[in-house]
Amino acid sequence: MGLGTVAITGSAGNIGSVVRAALRDEFQRLILLDRVPIRDAAANEEARVVDLRDPVAVEEGLSGADAVLHLGGLPDESPLAELLAANVLGTHHVLEAARRLGIGRVVLAGSNRVTGFHPVSRLTGAADPVRPDGLYGVSKVAVEALGRLYSDKFGLSVVCLRIGSFEEAPTERRHLATWLSHRDAVGFVRAALTAPPATRFATVYAVSANSRRFWELPEPATLKYTPLDDAETYVDRIPGAELHLDPESPQAGPYAEPEFTLRHISH
């Protein structure tokens, strides 16, 4: 028996494609939203072309959904104006449409990059202060803030997933701490979409059970999912895996370097 209708924004993207394939048989219907046409919709999927910057189109696109998985937006460092339009305004349009349509649950794709300047020696949790490592991280701080606002003010049920390094397998040293396997990504999304209605607002790190992780896993009372995979399985394939990190170095690694952001700032 399916679990109702879920709309997925950014459904043609890397995470959206994996989650969609894994969950399509668990829900009665999936509404697939993206800027690009999706031409391989299954029998219980409906594809809709939607620009998240258009609030009217977003509301029309989400019509009929019981829950929303919001993955759409820019996925990395970009000029601030572009991030504000795609990530912040896009999320506002999704949340406002959910409010107007009476959608019961919105799952927002946040990012570990909202706390990238905490040191690797610190096991960081959702209650710790945000320390974004760039303009992209700033946009994701705003995404979480919008989710909190719509939960507190309008009663929406919102779960923010601070997504780790989503890869089939870890390929670099930082991934030994930050990796999010495909299997665990699906597990976190499933748990967020099906959390009890009493879950009014929650923010959790979506990361695999990596031995070297520097983010807290969610308490079962907050989100009932325990990740299964550990990047340490791949340690023999990772160059420099045996080197020790400076405990005061930022969790963001190279994303914290000034040059990573400066090239997106015009004068």
Q: Which of 136, 150, 205, 225 is catalytic?
A: 136
Specify the amino acid at residue 179: W
Q: Contact, 217 vs 227, CB < 8 A?
A: yes
- Catalytic-residue membership of 150: no
- Phi, psi of 219, rounded to the nearest 5 degrees: -70, 145
Would you mind telling me the total number of residues written for the chain in this entry? 267
Exposure b/e, 110-137, CB count within 10 A at least 16 = b = bbbbbbbbbebeeebebeeebbbbbbbb
| R_g over Cα of the chain | 18
Q: Contact, 23 vs 185, CB < 8 A?
A: no
Q: Which residues are catalytic?
A: 136
